[in-house]
Structure 1
Amino acid sequence: MRSVLVIHNQKLAQEGKFFPVSDSLSPESILRSNGYIVTCTSDQEQAKQLIIDADAAILQLSMDEVKPWSTFLMQLKGLPLIWWCDERSASQSLEACEDDVMLDGMLTPFMKGYEIHWALHFSSKQFVERQQWYNEREQLLSRIEERKWIDMAKSILCEIKSITESEAYDILRKQAMNERKRLVDVATSIVKVYQLLQVGKESRVKPK
């Protein structure tokens, strides 16, 4: 990890209230003095370009600002998200200390060089584990959704054809093979057609 993107609070940046680059306690100054390539912004449009070459994002923000920025950055690129905990960001985050925030690590202005290097190293490992967990979660949710459509389709076939669930599943499987489609796609089609037919029936029997 050599290149980092520092995100500042936009309002404070416009007012010139965050540390200037020359300040010895600024994330830019500290990270550059330890051999990192640093770019910084407080603007989301600019972040879209700067994030391309970044290996990590350092968020010099209060916790309530971290959440929307984390979501925004992860939509652009998967990379470690690290909180810069200084006096301002910490004091403004007291009420959000129990919030569920997407972060992989933390840096402070008073860390020594070797502490920064190791903190970033472990943040990278944490990010990989978080991404793996997220991917597994998405796959699980996808399988649950697919199972829902398949169960609904089986129930419809059982009702219409007066057959068992096992027989209904065999029908779905054979139709998927014949049409060279996924089982869930066949099931979804059956459910949606059935629902349309039910809506049509209800509209015909409504009293005028």
Structure 2
Amino acid sequence: MRSLLVVDHPMTESELQSEQLSKKLTPKYILEAYGYQVIRANDEKKAELQMSSADALILHLPLDAVKAWGTKLLKQKTIPLLWWCSASTASLSLAFCEDDVPVDGILTPSMGEQELHWALHFGSKQCFERQQWLNERKQLEGRLEERKWIDMAKGILCKIKNISEAEAYDVLRKQAMNERKRMVDVATSIVKVYQILQDQK
């Protein structure tokens, strides 16, 4: 992980002056000093354009903005999202500490090179695990949805043909094999046709 996209929060005049005095505490300065390639963006369009070449997204923003920016940018590409917790972003985030913010790690200006390296490493690992969990959740939701259609179709077949659930399941399975379709597709067709017929009564 070498190319890091850093999104900074818009600064007031006084913050700009204090940043000039403490430039060595900025994410760009620190990360470049440790050998990382830093792509800096302070507006949405630039950040969206730079996402394709970034290995990680570092948001130097208050936590409420982290959630909004992170959600939008991570739709483009799945990469680790880390929060740069400086004195200014920490003080602006007090009201949002209980919010569900999708960060994979936290970086601070006081971290040394090795600490930063390991924080990025574990952030990357956390991102991968979160993505895997989301994929598994999506698959489970899909299976539940399929089960719902199959159960509805079984109920309809039981009612119309006056058969047991096991027999209705066999009818669905055989029909799916005959049509060379998935059982859920056959079940969905049965339910939809039944609903159309019921609406016409």
* TM-score (normalised: structure 2): 0.92
2:191 maps to 1:191? yes
Residues 88-116 of structure 1 show CA distances to partners (whole Å, capped at 9, x for unaligned) of 21111112111111111000111111111
2:136 maps to 1:141? no
User: Aligned residue for 1:89?
Assistant: 89
Q: 2:6, 2:44 → 1: CA distance?
A: 12
Instruction: Show structure 2 runs of 5+ residues with no match.
Output: none
Read off the aligned partner of 1:30 and give its amino acid letter.
I
Deviation at 1:14, TM superposition (A): 9.0
Asked if 2 retains the 8 angstrom alpha-carbon contact of 1:57 and 1:79, the reply is: yes
Q: 1:45, 1:176 → 2: CA distance?
A: 49
User: Aligned residue for 2:67?
Assistant: 67
The structure-2 alpha-carbon separation of the partners of 1:7 and 1:83, relative to structure 1 and needing over 3 Å to count, comes to same
Asked if 2 retains the 8 angstrom alpha-carbon contact of 1:13 and 1:42, the reply is: no
Q: 1:198, 1:15 → 2: CA distance?
A: 68
Q: 1:61, 1:96 → 2: CA distance?
A: 12
Give identity over the alignment, percent: 59
Q: CA RMSD in A?
A: 1.8
The structure-2 alpha-carbon separation of the partners of 1:137 and 1:156, relative to structure 1 and needing over 3 Å to count, comes to same
Q: Which moved more, 1:45-54 or 1:28-37?
A: 45-54
Instruction: Show structure 1 runs of 5+ residues with no match.
Output: 202-208
Equivalent residues in 2 for 1:1-208 (5 A)? 1-9=1-9, 12=10, 17=15, 19=19, 23-201=23-201
The structure-2 alpha-carbon separation of the partners of 1:186 and 1:195, relative to structure 1 and needing over 3 Å to count, comes to same
Asked if 2 retains the 8 angstrom alpha-carbon contact of 1:4 and 1:36, the reply is: yes
Q: How many residues align?
A: 198
